[in-house]
Amino acid sequence: MSHESGIAREKNRILKAWFEHVADTYAKQTASFLNQKGDRFANPVSAIISESLEKVFDGLVEDAGVNELSESIDPLVRVRAVQGFSPSASISFVFFLKKILRDVITADDSEVAMDLELMDKKIDGLALICFDKFMECREKIYELKACEVRNRTFRAFERAGLLLNSKNGG
């Protein structure tokens, strides 16, 4: 896809609409807060969303590889994985881009239509990357929780004197 395509020229409009769609997946009060971009430290989730979406968009337009797209989307997927979204809700934001592209870009000529079709395929691939990332994050969360439960149980048994001390031949 040519970097000068209509898609690349409309980057700011597309990113603004995509951010708004992502923000709308949150509760109304949270979405309102996210839309107040401002300071990265006062609103880190908003910054993560903006930065990730921009990097991913650039990667899609510039034919980035799987690894680069994966790195670009990782922070946003991590945030959504710990926020309790279901897997489908967590990565649904990826598919919003298809509709946004069609709302912003008019497919008057065949080149633009081909660009949109190519972007659809790339977006589908991005969704698979996001799903893999989401599952990695959730697996890590469950692993950490299981480890914490095991450690708490061990400490409780230890305090109760229910563990044999190997130093004393037990």
79: in domain: yes
140: in domain: no
117: in domain: yes
- 98: which residues sit within 8 A by CB, 6+ positions away? 119, 120, 123
22: in domain: yes
Read off the pLDDT of residues 4-32 as tens digits, 9 standing for 90 and up. Answer: 477 888 999 999 999 999 999 998 988 88
160: in domain: no
> Could you give the CA distance from residue 48 to residue 57 in angstroms, rounded to a whole number?
14
Q: Which residues form the domain of 53?
A: 6-135
154: in domain: no
155: in domain: no
Q: What is the CA radius of gyration of the chain?
A: 22
Number of domains in the chain: 1
Read off the pLDDT of residues 86-134 as tens digits, 9 standing for 90 and up. Answer: 999 999 999 999 999 999 887 676 677 788 899 999 999 999 999 999 9
Give pTM, 2 decimals: 0.81
| Residue among 63, 48, 35 at smallest CA distance from 122 | 63
Read off the pLDDT of residues 60-83 as tens digits, 9 standing for 90 and up. Answer: 999 999 999 999 999 999 999 988
Half-sphere exposure (Cβ direction) of 80: Cα atoms closer than 13 Å? 27
